Amino acid sequence: MNALEALVNPLTTLAEETRLTLANLADAATDLAVPSVRLGVTGLARAGKTVFLTALVHNLVHGGRLPLFSAASGHRMTGARLQPQPDDAVPRFDYEAHVRSLVSERIWPESTRQVSELRLTIDYESASYFHRKLGPGRLHLDLIDYPGEWLLDLPLLGKDYATFSAEAMQRARAENRAEIAAPFLKILAATDANAEESEPAAQELAANFKTYLAACRADAHALSMLPPGRFLMPGDLDGSPALTFAPLDIPADAAPARTGTLRAMMERRYEAYKTHVVRPFFRNHFARLDRQIVLVDVLHALNAGPHAIADLETALTEVLGAFRPGKRSWLSSILSRRIDRILFAATKADHLHRTDHDRLELILKRLVARAEEKATFKGAEVEVLAMAAVRATREATVKHRGEALPAILGTPLPGERLNGDTYDGKTEIAMFPGDLPDDPESLFGQADSVSEALRASFQTAQADLQFLRFRPPELDKTAEGLTLSLPHIRLDRALEFLIGDRLA
């Protein structure tokens, strides 16, 4: 990015871009001995970020079955081991605890709540005869785990408070949100934006706004467009003024606020949120990524209905709009880092029979179509696949009324319900999850409000689909008592796309 681009880019200023360039130069200097790849791992709530990272490391360290990962299948990867991470101020991803949860306790680990990092060093032999003569290769894979909700904050850097408020109010009054937002809208209707600033009023509005956002994210609605993202996972900023604001009912082109008013107070805190929360995340973590995987729980949105699908499409477009995609070159990697490969992965493919995996990929491809076109235009490579970082089910064929049906076998989590039965977390069952539609377009509407025809098509599809949450699998052991690696679906394909070329 040149100086002119930095001036017009809403995410960066000239001074900000200068700081990023200096940071990239420092990273490049350390890469002279051993090159590194910074891989961002993100996704909205419950998409499986922690599980993906744990499974990736476990399979690489323990020599898992990765037939489509050429460095492993070609026996060129000679080892992988964890190393101290390079960023001392970033929490370490607690890999050991997450493995213990998956393997020993057979429970899913806690979700991502903050940025964390892990360094995996891979030893390999080059596929090139010339490079093999120079000796064995080594690559640092720096894995940066962060909540996808934080990505939705990055577009706020280019929006003033009036624009943010107008967009938030438009969403809150939409067909599918008005009832959820009713308590917040009621309090807002009784609020005078030009009244004298008041801490109790600000706290009441912020608390009701956060309650509304949390309700939107609940399973019944599964909505995704919920900025500001840190409101749902405040961490040590909980209760701070920077997280105690809410949108007001003002137009996007409203005149400047009068000093000392509630609106001026909200606007000041919104700007503080951008300065102290959003911009440091962009500068310290996001702008330093080389490659990115975005995990998407498509099935969760399908369960919730057409509004959840439409909201997910909007969120994914916003997410990729915040990326810095571009073609990788030696000079650009030093001066201005670009994300040159982006993988969108539909998670929990093990909840479906393999005959439906292609349909799941097509639905995700349709969801990210607008975002993919933009990234590809800027020179980045984009891939879409259906995967399960940890496969919790097996496939089978069962007979029902004389008909052979493709089924999945697994142990539902305690408390899961299906057809009136509640499971105890110990009983393995066989179930037919249903079929996804052949045409993904049948799940998408063109109008602002969801049509009756679209709603009917969803109701028909939902009647045929049944998704349960399953316990992690019980791992087999070798004759020597060693635990085998975590089973997966297409984790090897994901690895090949994300880092295969760097191990060639």
Q: Find out whether 61 and 95 touch, Cβ atoms under 8 Å.
A: no
Secondary structure (3-state) at 289: coil
Determine contact, residues 470/39, Cβ cutoff 8 Å. no
Q: CA 298, CA 296: separation in Å to the nearest integer?
A: 6
The two tokens of residue 133 are 């003569």
pLDDT for the residue 7: 34
Structural tokens at position 344: 């969108």
Amino acid at 166: A
pLDDT at 373: 82
Looking up tokens 């029902």, which residue turns up? 400
pLDDT computed for residue 19 by the predictor? 64
3-state secondary structure of 378: coil
C-alpha span between 361 and 349 (Å, rounded): 10
In angstroms, the CA 433 to CA 355 distance is 11
pLDDT at 247: 98
pLDDT of residue 243: 96
Peptide linkage before 228 cis (omega within 30 of 0): yes
Amino acid at 364: L
Mean pLDDT per segment of 10 residues, for the chain of length 504 residues?
Answer: 39 61 61 85 90 96 94 95 93 95 93 90 86 80 92 91 97 95 97 96 97 92 92 87 97 93 97 95 89 94 87 87 74 70 95 93 92 79 95 89 86 89 92 84 60 48 67 77 81 98 94
This prediction has a pTM of 0.87
Return the SS3 of 104: helix
Q: What does the DSSP 8-state code read for residue 245? A: -
Closest alpha carbon to 431 in 443, 446, 415, 419? 419
Q: What span, in angstroms and rounded, lies between the C-alpha atoms of 307 and 216? A: 11
Q: Give phi and psi for 137, each to the nearest 5.
A: -100, 160
CB atoms within 10 A of CB 330: 8
Consecutive H or E run containing 403? strand 403-410
Number of continuous H segments (helices) and E segments (strands) in the chain: 19, 12
What per-residue confidence (pLDDT) applies to 28?
Answer: 57
The residues spanned by each domain of the chain are 1-33, 39-146+289-390+488-503, 154-280, 394-464
| Torsion over CA: 403, 408, 409, 412 (sign) | negative
- Region of 452 (left: φ > 0; alpha: ψ -120 to 50; beta: rest) is alpha
**What is the pLDDT, as a whole number, of residue 171?**
96
The domain 39-146+289-390+488-503 is placed in CATH, from the list 3.30.2320, 3.30.70, 3.40.50, 1.10.287, at 3.40.50
- C-alpha neighbours within 13 Å on the C-beta side of residue 479: 0
Locate all alpha helices (DSSP H) within 368-490, ordered by sequence: 369-377, 452-464
Which DSSP state fits 233? S
pLDDT for res 324: 78
Give DSSP secondary structure letters for 127-148.
SSHHHHHT--EEEEEEEEE--H
